[in-house]
Amino acid sequence: MKDIADPKGLTRRELLSRTMAAGASFVVGGSFVAGADAAWAMETTALKPETMATLIQMARDIYPHDHVGDEYYAVAVKGYDTADAADGVEAGIAALNAVARGKGHADYLSIGWERDRVDILRAMEDSAFFQKVRGGLVTGLYNQKAVWPLFGYEGESYSQGGYIDRGFNDINWL
């Protein structure tokens, strides 16, 4: 059996079987993070894959949208995977995991209930790390054109004559 830490030795079949057996949200190995459904994956360069997986879960818990896939949250936090940001993010995730351990969990990512994870985030919401991630998600998540249709947003309207004649009164998601 091949070692999961060796990304070249992990076949797609092994990836899927380990994901289903573990019931995990993310599969972490080598230098990559993948969705549990194996429909998306991302390579990490400066951050540890476990840190990126925790950051994606944290993003989902800060701005929860059940109809938005994990891959969009991964794109939103990918900007933290740089050499300049890595030390601060690794330290922030370590602090998040320390709070989780203080509440009897192995780490933040292992907490199964969203409510328990949100309680941990509330304990950290005044920290500079939390505020940086939360603030970055506003643009990182909601400025993705691929996400706009999921919220019923058609994009800017100025170039098409404005909103008065183009959907001003047809809002149905509010």
| Per-residue pLDDT, 22 | 41
| Per-residue pLDDT, 163 | 73
Spacing of C-alpha 90 from chain mean position: 15
Nearest-CA neighbor of 145 among 43, 76, 61, 70? 76
Alpha helices in the chain (DSSP H): 12-22, 49-62, 70-77, 83-102, 114-124, 128-142
Q: What is the pTM of this model?
A: 0.75
Nearest-CA neighbor of 118 among 106, 130, 129? 130
- Sign of torsion, CA 44 48 52 55? negative
Nearest-CA neighbor of 52 among 67, 42, 64, 65? 42
| Per-residue pLDDT, 41 | 74
For the chain, list residues with pLDDT below 50: 1-7, 18-23
Q: Who contacts 36 (Cβ-Cβ below 8 Å, separation ≥6)?
A: 19, 24, 25, 26, 27
| Per-residue pLDDT, 119 | 95
| Per-residue pLDDT, 164 | 76
HEC states along 125-170?
Answer: CCCHHHHHHHHHHHHHHHCCCCCHHHHCCCCCCHHHCCCCCCCCCC
| Per-residue pLDDT, 21 | 40
| Per-residue pLDDT, 13 | 58
Nearest-CA neighbor of 72 among 60, 85, 62, 61? 60
